[in-house]
């Protein structure tokens, strides 16, 4: 059985505002940080080097999220109990240091980690305190002191950094009384230097949303049901399908792909935009050309979730570099709860696929 399944079997908490997803983080040196039962494993597919970067000493806890900083010399990751307690701890470990540093503890689950491009702060999305919206809160944390610099309450699950001083998120205004998964809000830019919020556009969006930022072209990609100066109103039997938009601060949003999309992510150099196009039971990975408003399918039938007991855990792809991807594939086989989760690599230029899972499993045995 793949060790990823071990992680998934350990994750038994469904968040009200969303769910801790399974993904990996890749640094500029091509090292993939992978959360496993053994701890945080680092794998370099080019050199073949596999090592346990941070041993998991407490078998009652599991690592869940990983995030490299822009320089690739420090890794943020979360630990939480396998059962019961919802509390989550955020650690940072530098590659040249032997011990991790605890910088933040939350009594609520953490669903997203994002580094400031300057590397001096991280932002995390955690389960929110609002009973009305059942949404996320964001905390901006100094990585050196652990001090919470700013909190943003009742926001969308996803957020991104446009530059070292600009954080992008959605401020929720209200929720559809007939469908609690649909919200109205304002896509917002927070300027750290001025400590000010700049509204970018109004959005009508579903909980299954995504935000990504391209600092090279100063643009933001996001998913929404509708976006513009005014949105809505809510209607009976309203669809919760999101579409892909792009906006530059100071401009109006522009829809760039009008089929249902659940995930967006700019490549490290800002030249490509990865998306997940929703199909019946899974999704296709697509590259969206925001200039021509077209999309190219690069991988069909990628799973959106892995199911364990009554749980559905989201699965997310990532950029390995600006020309290749890593994503999860499910192989159905006897003896692995019917499912074997595999980490795959796809070269977008040669279209060559490579299964990375065996090398990782063998490297930590």
What DSSP assignment string belongs to 38-105? TEEEEE-TTT--EEEEEE---TTEEEEEEEE-TTSSEEEEEEEESSS---EEEEEEETT-SS-EEEEE
What does the angle CA 221 – CA 226 – CA 232 come to, to the nearest 5 degrees? Answer: 150
Distance CA 44, CA 343 (A): 13
| CA 24 distance to own-chain centroid | 9
* Residue in this structure with the two tokens 């959106």, named with its chain if needed: 304
Q: Model pTM?
A: 0.91
Structural domain of 317: 3-363
Please check whether residue 100 is in contact with residue 91, taking contact to mean a CB–CB distance below 8 angstroms.
Answer: yes
Nearest to 203 by CA among 250, 261, 246: 246
Nearest to 143 by CA among 161, 124, 156: 124
Please check whether residue 305 is in contact with residue 288, taking contact to mean a CB–CB distance below 8 angstroms.
Answer: no
Domain count, the chain: 1
Q: Return the structure tokens found at 226.
A: 């509708």
* Pairing state between β 318-321 and 110-115: unpaired
> Which CATH number goes with the domain that contains 23?
2.120.10.30
Distance CA 170, CA 186 (A): 5
Per-residue exposure over 239-250, b if at least 16 CB sit within 10 Å of its own CB, e if not: ebebbbbbbeee
Cα-only R_g, the chain:
19
pLDDT values of the chain reduced to their tens digit, one per residue, 365 residues: 344 433 433 332 222 334 567 889 999 999 999 999 889 999 999 999 999 999 988 878 889 999 999 999 999 999 988 777 778 999 999 998 889 999 999 998 899 999 999 999 999 999 888 777 778 999 999 999 999 999 999 998 899 999 999 999 999 999 999 988 899 999 999 999 999 999 999 999 997 789 999 999 999 999 999 999 999 899 988 999 999 999 999 999 999 999 999 999 999 999 999 999 998 888 999 999 999 999 999 999 999 887 765 567 788 999 999 999 999 998 765 544 546 789 999 999 999 999 999 999 998 87
């Amino acid at each position: 059985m793949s060790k990823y399944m071990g992680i998934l079997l350990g994750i038994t908490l469904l968040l009200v505002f969303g769910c801790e997803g399974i993904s990996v983080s890749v640094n500029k040196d091509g090292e993939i940080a992978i959360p496993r039962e053994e701890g945080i494993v680092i794998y370099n597919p080019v050199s073949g080097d596999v090592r346990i970067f941070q041993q998991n000493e407490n078998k009652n806890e599991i690592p869940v999220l990983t995030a490299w900083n822009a320089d690739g010399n420090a890794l943020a990751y979360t630990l939480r109990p396998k059962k019961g307690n919802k509390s989550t701890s955020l650690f940072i470990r530098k590659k040249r240091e032997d011990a991790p540093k605890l910088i933040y503890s939350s009594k609520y689950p953490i669903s997203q980690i994002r580094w400031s491009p300057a590397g001096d702060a991280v932002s995390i999305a955690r389960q929110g305190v609002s009973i009305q919206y059942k949404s996320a809160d964001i905390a901006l944390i100094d990585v050196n002191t652990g001090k919470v610099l700013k909190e943003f309450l009742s926001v969308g699950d996803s957020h991104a950094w446009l530059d070292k001083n600009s954080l992008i998120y959605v401020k929720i205004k209200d929720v559809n009384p007939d469908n609690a998964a649909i919200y109205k809000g304002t896509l917002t830019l927070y300027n750290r230097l001025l400590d000010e919020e700049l509204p970018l556009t109004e959005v009508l969006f579903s909980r299954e949303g995504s935000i990504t930022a391209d600092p090279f072209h100063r643009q933001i990609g996001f998913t929404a049901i509708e976006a513009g100066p005014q949105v809505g109103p809510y209607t009976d039997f309203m669809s919760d399908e999101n579409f892909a938009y792009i906006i530059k601060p100071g401009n109006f949003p522009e829809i760039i792909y009008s089929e249902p999309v659940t995930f967006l992510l700019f490549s490290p150099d800002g030249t490509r935009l990865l998306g997940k196009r929703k199909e019946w039971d899974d999704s296709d990975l697509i590259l969206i050309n925001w200039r021509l408003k077209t999309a190219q399918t690069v991988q069909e039938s990628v799973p959106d979730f892995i199911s364990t007991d009554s749980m559905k855990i989201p699965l997310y792809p990532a950029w390995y570099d600006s020309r290749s991807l890593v994503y999860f594939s499910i192989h159905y086989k006897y003896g692995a709860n019917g499912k074997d989760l595999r980490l795959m690599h796809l070269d977008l230029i040669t279209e060559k696929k490579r299964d990375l899972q065996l090398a990782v499993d063998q490297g930590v045995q």
